[in-house]
Amino acid sequence: NAGVTQTPKFQVLKTGQSMTLQCAQDMNHEYMSWYRQDPGMGLRLIHYSVGAGITDQGEVPNGYNVSRSTTEDFPLRLLSAAPSQTSVYFCASSSYTETGELFFGEGSRLTVL
Amino acid sequence: KQEVTQIPAALSVPEGENLVLNCSFTDSAIYNLQWFRQDPGKGLTSLLLIQSSQREQTSGRLNASLDKSSGRSTLYIAASQPGDSATYLCAVRGGRSTGANSKLTFGKGITLSVRP
């Protein structure tokens, strides 16, 4: 019963490096999303997708790219990491209905030096 | 723009107390409201989901209510235990101002400490 799986759990990057945070769900959910959580700022939506091949921007999309080639996977790419991207990142998914319950992964803690 | 507020930011109570956590939102045209629990260093765990047509949902010692017209929800925890210590977040889905029925707006959470 995996649910939403995120990898890696921890990552340290240097400024300017790129990396991809992986997210996979096995619940056949159409809707997937990425959030970042920072002290005092709460959860902020980065990007979301309502189905394979469809993505859209959230509140804080700059510096991040996403793609959705399959229903199961929704990777988040940092193109050129900056210290301001130090955060905890959460992937979440739900069925794409107005009534869908949102399920979260365990999070990925990223530090950019 | 939908805004979700949770006050106070932190709460400390003795074990055994019944308590109420509040959540308010500015746009009442929501599809549902969800309460989550987050333990330190962990992800968010869904506690209760209330659809816009419902007034309340119950799970064990937890009861959540929804009053769309006033833009409020409460999470009631009966007979609190030290194991209930965590951060509790509410999130609303949709709203006229969000532009998409898929978007959720989160409150910043209430950090609850239950003292033995």
Chain A residues in contact with B32 (beta carbon < 8 A): 98-99
Chain B residue numbers touching A36 (CB-CB < 8 A): none
What are the chain B neighbours of A92 within 8 Å (beta carbons)? 44
Q: Per-residue pLDDT tens for B41-86? A: 899 999 999 998 999 999 999 999 999 999 999 999 999 999 999 9
CB A23 within 8 A of CB A6: yes
CB contacts under 8 A, B 42-71 vs A, are 42-46, 49, 51
What would the mean pLDDT of A106-112 be, rounded to a whole number?
96
Residue A32 CB partners (closer than 8 Å, separation 6+): A23, A25, A48, A49, A68, A74, A91, A92, A93
Q: State the nearest Cα–Cα gap between B11 and chain A, in angstroms.
A: 16
pLDDT above 80: residue B24: yes
Residue B112 sits at the chain A interface (C-beta within 8 Å): no
Range with lowest mean pLDDT among A66-75, A97-106, B5-14: A97-106
pLDDT at B87: 97
Q: Which residues, other chains included, contact A1 with Cβ-Cβ below 8 Å and sequence gap of 6+?
A: none
